[in-house]
C-alpha cells in the first residue's frame, strides 16, 4: 500500500503522462528524426541510411546555393513582414474609423487570406504574364512602358513581385489582429490627449502604437515564422527562378529531398532553418521580457 504522498505523486504523473507522451510524439520525435536524418546519407527512394556525421552540414555551408537561398529567405521574410505590418496597421486604422461600408470592407478584406494559394498564384501569374498579362497590357496602354516587363523572369523583378504578392496574400492577418486590439483601446485616452492638445500623429505615436505593441510583437513573431518557412507561394510563382534568385531555404529542402533524392541533405537544411527560428524566438522572448520588466 503506497503512502498518501507517494500515491498523489503517482496520480499526478499518471495525469501528466498523456500530455508528455503527446508532446514527445508530436514535437520531439519529428525534431529528433530530422536531426537523425541530417547526420546520415539517406536515399529518398530507398530510405537506406549511412552515418556521415556532419558531412551534410559541411557540404551545405560550402555550397553557394545555400548562402544565396539563406539571403533570399531573409530578404523575403524581412520585406514581406515589414510591408504586411505597414499595410496591415494602415488598413486596420482605416477600418477602425468611421467609414461608409465598413462591415463589407472588413469582410472583403479577408478575401486574399482565404483564397487558396494555388488559386491566388494562378491569377497573379496570369496578370504578370509576359505575353498576355493584364498588368503589362495596362501599363503599355497608358504609355508607361514600351515593351512587356518580365515581372517573374528577371532579377530583381521576380523577388519584388513575389514579395508584393506575398504582402497582398498575408496582410489581412495583421489587419484582423490589430483591428481587434484597436477596438479595445479606451476612448478616454484619446479624449484626454485631445484636451491636452495632441494632434493625430501624436495620438497615434503616444497612444495607439504603445497600445498595439503587445499584439504587434506576437504578429511579428508569427508572421516571421510563417514567412520564413513559406514554400507554396514562392515555389508556384517562380519555382525559385530565374536562376536561383528567388530560391528560399524551404525550396532548397524540397529540391534536395525530392529532386536530388538526397533526404539527408534536405534534413540538414531543415535543421539549420529550425536553428535560425529558435534563435529568432529566443531574441523575441528576450525583448518581450525586457519590455515587461521595464514596464
Q: Which residues of the chain form contacts with other proteins (CB under 8 A)?
A: 43-47, 129-132, 147-155, 158, 238-245, 258-261
Cβ atoms < 10 Å from Cβ of 90: 14
Nearer to other proteins, 213 or 260 (CB): 260
In angstroms, the CA 222 to CA 176 distance is 14
Burial of 277 (0-12, 13-18, 19+ CB in 10 A): middle
Nearer to other proteins, 158 or 174 (CB): 158
Residue 197 falls in which region: left (phi positive, over 0), alpha (psi -120 to 50) or beta = left
Q: Which three cell numbers stand for residue 180?
A: 481587434
Q: Minimum distance from CB of 265 to other proteins (Å)?
A: 11
Nearer to other proteins, 110 or 145 (CB): 145
Nearer to other proteins, 49 or 82 (CB): 49
Q: Minimum distance from CB of 45 to other proteins (Å)?
A: 5
Count Cβ neighbours within 10 Å for each residue of 110-136 and write b for 16 or more, e otherwise.
eebbeeebeebbeebbebbbeeebebb
Q: Minimum distance from CB of 227 to other proteins (Å)?
A: 22
Nearer to other proteins, 133 or 172 (CB): 133
In angstroms, the CA 235 to CA 244 distance is 11
Burial of 178 (0-12, 13-18, 19+ CB in 10 A): buried
Closest CA to 88 of 183, 189, 202, 220: 220
Q: Minimum distance from CB of 259 to other proteins (Å)?
A: 5
Query: How large is the greatest C-alpha to C-alpha distance in the chain, in angstroms?
Result: 91
My answer on whether omega of the bond before 150 falls inside 30° of 0, hence cis, is no
Nearer to other proteins, 112 or 150 (CB): 150
Q: Minimum distance from CB of 238 to other proteins (Å)?
A: 7
Cα 32 off chain centre by: 23
Q: Minimum distance from CB of 55 to other proteins (Å)?
A: 12
In angstroms, the CA 249 to CA 234 distance is 11
Q: Minimum distance from CB of 168 to other proteins (Å)?
A: 20
Nearer to other proteins, 9 or 259 (CB): 259
Amino acid at each position: 500500500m503506497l503512502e498518501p504522498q507517494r500515491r498523489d505523486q503517482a496520480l499526478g504523473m499518471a495525469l501528466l503522462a498523456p500530455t508528455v507522451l503527446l508532446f514527445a510524439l508530436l514535437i520531439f520525435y519529428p525534431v529528433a528524426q530530422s536531426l537523425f536524418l541530417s547526420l546520415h546519407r539517406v536515399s529518398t527512394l530507398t530510405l537506406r541510411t549511412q552515418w556521415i556525421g556532419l558531412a551534410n552540414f559541411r557540404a551545405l555551408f560550402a555550397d553557394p546555393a545555400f548562402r544565396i537561398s539563406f539571403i533570399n529567405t531573409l530578404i523575403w521574410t524581412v520585406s514581406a513582414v515589414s510591408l504586411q505590418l505597414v499595410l496591415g496597421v494602415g488598413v486596420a486604422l482605416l477600418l477602425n474609423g468611421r467609414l461608409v461600408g465598413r462591415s463589407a470592407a472588413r469582410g472583403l478584406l479577408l478575401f486574399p487570406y482565404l483564397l487558396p494559394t494555388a488559386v491566388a498564384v494562378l491569377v497573379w501569374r496570369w496578370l504578370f504574364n509576359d505575353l498576355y498579362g493584364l498588368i503589362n497590357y495596362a501599363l503599355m496602354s497608358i504609355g508607361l512602358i514600351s515593351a512587356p516587363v518580365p515581372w517573374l523572369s528577371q532579377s530583381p523583378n521576380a523577388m519584388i513581385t513575389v514579395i508584393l504578392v506575398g504582402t497582398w496574400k498575408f496582410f489581412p492577418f495583421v489587419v484582423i489582429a490589430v483591428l481587434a486590439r484597436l477596438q479595445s483601446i479606451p476612448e478616454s485616452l484619446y479624449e484626454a490627449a485631445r484636451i491636452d492638445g495632441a494632434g493625430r500623429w501624436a495620438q497615434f505615436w503616444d497612444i495607439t502604437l504603445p497600445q498595439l505593441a503587445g499584439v504587434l510583437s506576437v504578429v511579428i513573431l508569427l508572421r516571421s515564422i510563417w514567412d520564413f518557412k513559406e514554400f507554396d507561394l514562392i515555389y508556384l510563382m517562380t519555382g525559385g527562378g530565374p536562376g536561383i534568385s528567388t530560391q528560399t531555404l524551404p525550396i532548397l529542402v524540397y529540391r534536395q529531398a525530392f529532386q536530388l533524392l538526397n533526404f539527408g541533405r534536405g534534413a540538414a537544411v531543415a535543421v539549420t532553418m529550425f536553428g535560425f527560428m529558435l534563435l529568432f524566438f529566443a531574441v523575441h522572448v528576450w525583448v518581450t521580457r525586457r519590455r515587461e520588466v521595464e514596464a
